[in-house]
Amino acid sequence: MVVDSVSEVLRIPASTLEPTPEVVTSIDSDYIRGVAKLEDRLLIYLDLSKILSGEERKTLSQI
């Protein structure tokens, strides 16, 4: 996966993951697994298996 930049990398405990709020489900939320609250921030947890193609997922798992 290639990105333009990264400002921060976080490890988020699974226990902080919450279902996607109703506000977000009105938008195309197929790629969102849930949200996590960290201090004063709301973080969106993406479902990479729905974003990446099969070949991309295979390459990512080998890294």
26 or 4: which leads in pLDDT: 4
Say what the pTM is.
Answer: 0.59
Tens digits of residue pLDDT in 16-57: 888 887 766 555 677 888 889 888 888 888 887 777 777 777
- 41: nearest Cα among 6, 15, 19, 12: 12
From CA 40, how far away is CA 38, in angstroms rounded?
6
Rounded to whole angstroms, the Cα distance separating 25 from 39 reads 23
